[in-house]
Amino acid sequence: MYNDSIATEVIFEHNWEDLIDNIPTKVFVIDKIFFNLHRDIIIPILNNDPYYLFDAKESDKNITNLIDILSFFQKEEINRAFHIVCIGGGITTDIGSFAASIYMRGCKLVLLPTTFLGMIDASIGGKTAINFQGIKNNVGSFYCADQVIINSKFLESLPRLELINGWAECVKVALIDGNNFLTKLSANKQKLDDFIISEAIKIKNDICSQDPFDNEKRQLLNLGHSVGHIIEVISNFSISHGKSVAIGLKVIAGISYADGFVSQSRYNKILKLLSLYELDFKQQFEVDYSIIYDILKQDKKNRKLMSLVLFSEKSVFVQKMTLEEAVALIEKHIYN
Ligand SMILES: NC(=O)c1ccc[n+]([C@@H]2O[C@H](COP(=O)([O-])OP(=O)(O)OC[C@H]3O[C@@H](n4cnc5c(N)ncnc54)[C@H](O)[C@@H]3O)[C@@H](O)[C@H]2O)c1
């Protein structure tokens, strides 16, 4: 079974236990921290079904653990009649979904994302991956879940840093969309609820369904990420993904304004939105041209020409440029 469309059904359900209960044969891949924090609600749904606890660290999203998960499926005699149910953040759903996509050439897949970022980003759009030989998400597949079940109550135990990661992606999609959701997010600081999650999912889903295999339109979702990646690398990953993306959004806003793609009013609104969601971080690490160049060059997506997503007055657009041009722009604005 090769799932070649963005055909995932997204269900908002606080009574998620009933949905899981109704799945006849299943195996679970569960984030260990989430399991330990929520034993009272997780253990009852397991019944006697097999479950694999995964230690969700970025360094563990690797081939050794993928083999371990596949071996677990084999040992438990999982077959294609089973649903693979992944419960956890993006790390767990990425590796669990990848395992589901290749075990017996593909099994049914249900995701219960438990982080804000997992709900609005990692579980949406059908990308699965592990990190391979030092390159992030370099091995994976396009494989949409049959169902994504969203229970925002899971987020009550999420640490603040993880919330920031989610808000950075949420603000990013609102800025890409540029429509009602942006107006709503900009009006006042919204509390994180099902409305926010469902709007952010809709925008990502809409972009992904126009470009399921990431050939063109999906590039827009890289807004803030090229610069964000530079910040992550130069800080030796001591600056989180969300903070790095937020800094990236600010730097891209600076470039877009300086190059005349956005008015002062749009530029100010972008900065105000970042500030409203406490995402106005400052880049503090020293960087020079050669470091930025090397990091951009290592990125598998950048060949001689690279695509930098810039702001336009209403949305965003992809600007093709040489690596040298991109580095010069980023170096000039990185301390904005
Ligand atoms: N497939 C995609 O399209 C896609 C998109 C974006 C990101 N990703 C991937 O997602 C990963 C990041 O995902 P993430 O931000 O969800 O991080 P994560 O999976 O590392 O989870 C963050 C931390 O929170 C813990 N946790 C999970 N749920 C919790 C809860 N409800 N309460 C308390 N703690 C909880 C986890 O154990 C972990 O320590 C990266 O590997 C990234 O590459 C994938």
Q: What is the CATH number of the domain that holds 166?
A: 1.20.1090.10
| CATH value at residue 137 | 3.40.50.1970
In a domain? residue 230: yes
- At 285 the pLDDT is 74
At residue 308, φ and ψ (nearest 5 deg) are -110, 130
Instruction: Tally Cβ neighbours within 10 Å of residue 326.
Output: 23
Residues 149 and 230 in one domain: no
In a domain? residue 140: yes
What is the share, in percent, of the chain residues with pLDDT greater than 90?
A: 82
Residues 63 and 149 in one domain: yes
141 lines ligand 1 (CB under 6 A): no
In a domain? residue 3: no
- At 6 the pLDDT is 61
Residues 135 and 201 in one domain: no
In a domain? residue 4: no
- At 5 the pLDDT is 46
Residues 140 and 166 in one domain: no
175 lines ligand 1 (CB under 6 A): no
Express each pLDDT in 134-183 by its tens digit: 888 999 999 999 999 999 999 999 999 999 999 999 999 999 999 999 99
Q: How far apart are CA 130 and CA 137, in angstroms?
A: 5
Among residues 203, 131, 196, 135, which one has the least CA distance to residue 166? 196
- At 302 the pLDDT is 65
- The alpha carbon torsion through 159, 164, 170, 171 (nearest 10 deg) reads 160
- At 283 the pLDDT is 76
Report how far ligand 1's centroid is from the alpha carbon of 271 (Å).
26
- Domain span holding position 274: 160-207+214-333
- At 236 the pLDDT is 84
Tokens encoding 309? 């997503």
Residues 43 and 176 in one domain: no
Residues 169 and 133 in one domain: no
Residues 51 and 98 in one domain: yes
Mean pLDDT of the chain: 93
Among residues 91, 198, 197, 77, which one has the least CA distance to residue 136? 91
113 lines ligand 1 (CB under 6 A): no
In a domain? residue 93: yes
- At 300 the pLDDT is 62
Q: Which residues of the chain have pLDDT under 50?
A: 1-5
- At 7 the pLDDT is 66
Residues 132 and 28 in one domain: yes
Report how far ligand 1's centroid is from the alpha carbon of 311 (Å).
27
Instruction: Tally Cβ neighbours within 10 Å of residue 15.
Output: 8
At residue 52, φ and ψ (nearest 5 deg) are -115, 125
Residues 165 and 284 in one domain: yes
- At 1 the pLDDT is 30
H or E stretch at 256 = helix 241-258
